Amino acid sequence: MSKSFEERMKELEEGYNNMSDSISPDKIIESVEKTKKKSRWKRIYTTGGGVLAAGIAALLIMSQTSVAPGGDNVENNEQPMEESQQDDEVPAFTEERAVQVMNAYEESFVSLIDEANQNNQKINSYQSIDEVKQHFINVMSDELATWMTGSYFREEDDGVYVIPKDGPTWFQEDQSFELEEVSEEHFKIVQERNNELLGHREMIYHATYREEQWILDDIETNVLDEQTNENPESEGQENIMDTSETVLSMLASQDMGSLSSLVHPEKGVLFSPYVNIDKEDARVFEQEEVEQFFETDQVYEWGVYDGRGDTIEQTPSEYYEEFIFDRDFQNADEILVDDIEQRGNMSSNMKDVFPDSTVVEYHIEASGESGGMDWASLHLVFEQDTEGSWKLVAVVHDQWTI
């Protein structure tokens, strides 16, 4: 008696289940075909069984390899979604992570100082200020990297050198600190410091999550001494001196790209060859123009030569050589903050033009070889922006005049 269709299919399933995983659907069909009889009905049964067996085999093989119809891998489709969701999550900012961020910040600076100490203050691993800045951007914000390079490094014809001065105030891992959450991607690392060198201060380090990593974004300092409360101007002068030293260093190294970030965003920066500012003739550069200061050969009118009356017509590079950094103002004999002295025959009107400003003067004394006429001063004029940050609004030159 011939077997029913259902019985044959059951035998096929049992036979397949007993086969090794390496047997392909073609082998299954070939095996089935060998058993078919010449009977028409048996051929129908066998043909139907072969097709169904092939379908079962294909489904079982696809289930073993996690392949869905259409060739897509189910596991691979699900895995990227899970990874994408994980990538969107901001890693928790713990005390351990805070220490890692602060140590990376310090190491990025100290490694260059150690290198410079072995090479007469020269950095051999980087050839330009921009390269040094990119080194810092790995662990800190662009703004902080700009301040770091401008404050502690200068670029000369043969490379980059360290400016000898006191370093930043470092985070102390062995001292207590607190974490304050501003947002999921912004935390404050607050540490109180009290010693003879620093005085009594509260250091606030801002850590932010950018481009899938935690970095140091900004640094604040609050002076806690009672003495400072009696003289609140002292902290303001200290902060503006930090900014002024940074600007001076950028001018010395001709790093106008970084300097542009410290120019007042609304007023730009005014350039005057003398302390009596001619508001109509003085040249004002916006931030974008400052960034391209040395890239243009355009001739500008910068004012009028004292005692001669003819117009000062120069490219920015020529003006820089004669009326900005004609002396080594980084080694000034005297530095004054908002203590404007009339040194020559010309009176200053800087406070009239910029009544809300603070002026930092870098003065080079006369050598005595020219009857006291070869002195020079560079005045950096600052105003606070809407956020309370000091921004450069004028660069004013001063020298002996007729």
Residue 237 inside a domain? The answer is no
Rounded Cα distance between 306 and 281, Å, is 13
Domain-terminating residue out of 179, 205, 231: 231
DSSP letter assigned to residue 54: H
Tokens of residue 239, six digits: 């902060």
My answer on whether 312 and 345 are in the same domain is yes
Q: Residues 226-236: pLDDT tens digits?
A: 544 444 455 55
pLDDT for 233: 53
Domain boundary among 19, 53, 84: 84
Check if the beta carbon of residue 303 is closer than 8 Å to that of residue 274.
yes
Residue 275 domain-assigned (yes or no): yes
User: C-alpha distances in angstroms, 42 versus 15, 47, 53?
Assistant: 19, 8, 16
Same domain, 295 and 187: no
The tally of CA atoms less than 13 A away on the side-chain side of residue 344 is: 22
Q: Within its chain, how far is the Cα of 83 from the centroid?
A: 27
In a domain, 184, yes or no: yes
- Cβ pair 306, 402 in contact under 8 A: yes
- Of the residues 84, 109, 136, the one at which a domain ends: 84
Number of structural domains, the chain? 3
391 and 314, same domain (yes or no): yes
| E strands, 112-198, in order | 122-123, 153-156, 159-162, 178-183, 186-195
Residues 227 and 247 in one domain: no
Residues 393, 248, single domain; the answer is yes
> Does one domain contain both 135 and 264?
no
Q: Assess whether 206 and 247 both reside in one domain.
A: no
| Domain residue limits at 11 | 5-84
Say whether pTM exceeds 0.85: no
Residues 77 and 224 in one domain: no
* Sole residue written with tokens 């530095």: 335
Q: Is residue 326 part of a domain?
A: yes
225 and 336 inside one domain: no
Q: Across the beta sheet with 159-162, what order do the strands follow?
A: 122-123, 159-162, 153-156
Residue 78 domain flag: yes
For position 145, which CATH number holds? 3.10.450
- pLDDT tens per residue across all 402 residues of the chain: 455 555 655 665 665 555 555 455 555 455 545 544 444 444 444 455 554 455 555 555 555 544 444 444 544 555 555 554 555 789 999 999 999 999 999 999 999 998 988 888 899 999 999 999 999 999 999 999 998 898 889 898 899 998 876 678 889 988 899 999 999 999 999 999 876 556 788 899 999 999 899 999 999 888 886 544 444 455 556 678 889 999 999 999 899 988 999 999 999 999 999 999 988 888 999 999 999 999 999 999 999 998 788 999 999 999 999 999 999 999 999 999 998 877 777 889 999 999 999 999 999 998 877 666 889 999 999 999 888 889 999 999 998 875
List of E strands, 211-309: 213-223, 269-272, 283-285, 300-304
Q: Are residues 121 and 225 in the same domain?
A: yes
Q: Would residue 299 count as lying in a domain?
A: yes
Where is 44: in which H helix or E strand? helix 40-65
Q: Is residue 131 part of a domain?
A: yes
Find out whether 348 and 342 touch, Cβ atoms under 8 Å. yes
Residue 90 lies in a domain: no
190 and 259 in a single domain? The answer is no
269 and 218, same structural domain? no
